[in-house]
Every structure is written in structure tokens, then in C-alpha cells.
């Protein structure tokens, strides 16, 4: 059984504002790595993220379909309100982050093993993209782990 299913079975719920309740009594959740969670003691410890519990209440087992992730529409990972939670792909989820923050992350990711990408590598990536290479194919060819980094390289005319 998944954490969200265990939480519901025990009596946990999340209201429309993102507050957590156990048997209709409000409880505190803890902030861990940018997300609120509860820890359920059930023989062992079960960690249940509040945004996933809210998504389970809202969408049911669709949450568990392949490729599905929980999105915070406003990009704020601590806002677990009903209106802010949606399901989508990892790409959808990335697009929920404001563009300026995505670009900064891409700039930061542009450092590879402590070195910036060379002008020659940037030109080669752009040339391959112009020839129709997908971001995934470019990532594989140039050993880049972030699609955002590849997109940033392809869509900007200056060095990092």
C-alpha cells in the first residue's frame, strides 16, 4: 500500500487550504527538503508528502499512473492548497517554475565538472539542434544531464 493510501486509511486528510488533519483534528506537518510531510508509525516509519496526499484526495489513483507527477501550479512547494495542486508530466512541472528561476538553474547547471562549456561545444550543440536533434538526443550525445541546460544552450546567443 502506498503512503497516501495508508494515510487515508488511518484517518489523515488535507483540507482545501492545505492544512493536515487526523480524524478531524488539525495536526502539524514537518518541512523536509522543501515539502511538508507527515510521518506515520506503522510497524516502520512511512513518510507521506502532503502535496501527494492532497493530489490523491483530488485525483485518486490517477496519481500513480506512469509518468505522472504532482505539480504546484504557482511553483511554491509549500502551498498544498486544493487549487494549487495538479497532475502532469515532469516537463509540465518544470514549466510551473517561473522562467527567471528556470533560466538561473540552467545557468548554474551549465557548469560541467567545474568548467564552463567551450564555445566549440556550444556551437556543435546548436548545429545538431538545427539539424533536428531532439533535446534528449543532444543530452545523450554531449553527456548533459539537464534538459533545461540543453534548452538554454540552444536558445541563447552568448557564452555562459
Residue among 14, 24, 22 nearest 51 (CA): 14
Residue 42 binned pLDDT confidence (cut-offs 50, 70, 90):
confident
Give the integer Cα–Cα distance in Å for 117 and 153: 9
Domains contained in the chain, CATH given: 3-95 (3.90.75.20), 99-155 (no CATH)
> Residue 81: which of 14, 143, 1, 159 has the closest Cα?
14
Query: What nine digits make up the cell of 30?
Result: 514537518
Rounded average pLDDT over 127-143 = 93
Question: Model confidence over 148-160: pLDDT tens digits?
Answer: 888 888 887 655 4
Handedness of CA 101, 128, 123, 156 (dihedral sign): negative
How wide is the angle at C-alpha 137 spanned by C-alphas 131 and 141, nearest 5°? Answer: 95
- Per-residue pLDDT reduced to its tens digit, 69-84: 999 998 899 999 999 9
Amino acid at each position: 500500500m502506498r503512503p497516501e493510501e495508508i494515510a487515508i486509511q488511518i484517518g489523515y486528510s488535507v483540507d482545501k487550504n492545505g492544512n493536515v488533519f487526523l480524524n478531524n483534528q488539525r495536526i502539524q506537518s514537518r518541512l523536509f527538503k522543501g515539502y511538508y510531510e507527515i510521518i506515520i508509525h506503522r510497524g516502520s516509519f512511512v513518510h507521506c508528502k502532503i502535496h501527494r496526499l492532497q493530489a490523491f484526495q483530488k485525483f485518486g489513483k490517477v496519481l500513480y499512473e506512469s509518468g505522472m507527477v504532482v505539480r504546484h501550479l504557482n511553483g511554491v512547494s509549500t502551498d498544498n492548497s486544493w487549487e494549487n495542486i495538479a497532475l502532469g508530466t515532469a516537463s509540465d512541472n518544470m514549466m510551473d517554475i517561473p522562467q527567471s528561476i528556470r533560466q538561473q538553474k540552467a545557468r548554474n547547471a551549465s557548469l560541467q565538472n567545474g568548467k564552463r562549456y567551450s564555445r566549440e561545444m556550444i556551437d556543435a550543440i546548436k548545429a545538431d539542434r538545427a539539424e533536428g536533434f531532439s533535446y534528449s538526443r543532444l543530452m545523450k550525445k554531449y553527456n548533459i544531464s539537464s534538459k533545461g541546460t540543453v534548452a538554454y544552450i540552444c536558445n541563447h546567443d552568448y557564452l555562459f
